[in-house]
């Protein structure tokens, strides 16, 4: 990981502000999701990019029983159920 020399304080509600330059560089827009990962004592933020649990496609996604599935994989599963 590389430091970028920017420090932000956590407010009384536990929030931090990501600098505009960083959001622009990472393609993070208002209302985008951000995933939070923890590795030992390190917190990692990553732009959330939902994808199909079967093929990793990010197009034509649907939620099925709490999981994300693309249209093609959904059709494929229908073939196996019939």
Same domain? 35 vs 60: no
Same domain? 22 vs 43: yes
Same domain? 43 vs 68: no
- Which structural domain range is residue 38 located in? 1-48
Give me the number of domains the chain comprises: 2
Name which of 36, 8, 43 is nearest 22 in CA terms.
8
CATH number of 7's domain: 2.10.260.10
Enter the tokens of residue 14: 């536990």
Distance CA 32, CA 34 (A): 7
Each residue's pLDDT tens digit, 41-76? 999 999 998 999 999 999 999 898 889 999 999 888
Q: Which helix (H) or strand (E) holds 25?
A: helix 20-26
Q: What is the pLDDT of residue 82?
A: 61
Is the pLDDT score of 24 beyond 80?
A: yes
* Other beta carbons within 10 Å of 72: 14
Each residue's pLDDT tens digit, 9-23? 999 999 999 999 999
Same domain? 42 vs 64: no
Same domain? 17 vs 33: yes
pLDDT band at 80 (very low <50, low <70, confident <90, very high): confident
DSSP state of 14: S
């Amino acid at each position: 990981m590389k430091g970028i020399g920017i420090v932000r304080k956590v407010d009384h509600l536990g929030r931090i502000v990501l600098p505009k330059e960083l959001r622009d560089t990472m393609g993070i827009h208002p209302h985008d999701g951000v995933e939070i990962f923890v590795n030992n004592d390190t917190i990692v933020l990553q732009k959330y990019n939902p994808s199909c649990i079967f093929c990793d496609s990010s197009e034509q996604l649907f939620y099925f029983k709490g999981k994300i599935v693309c249209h093609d994989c959904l059709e494929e599963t229908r073939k196996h159920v019939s």
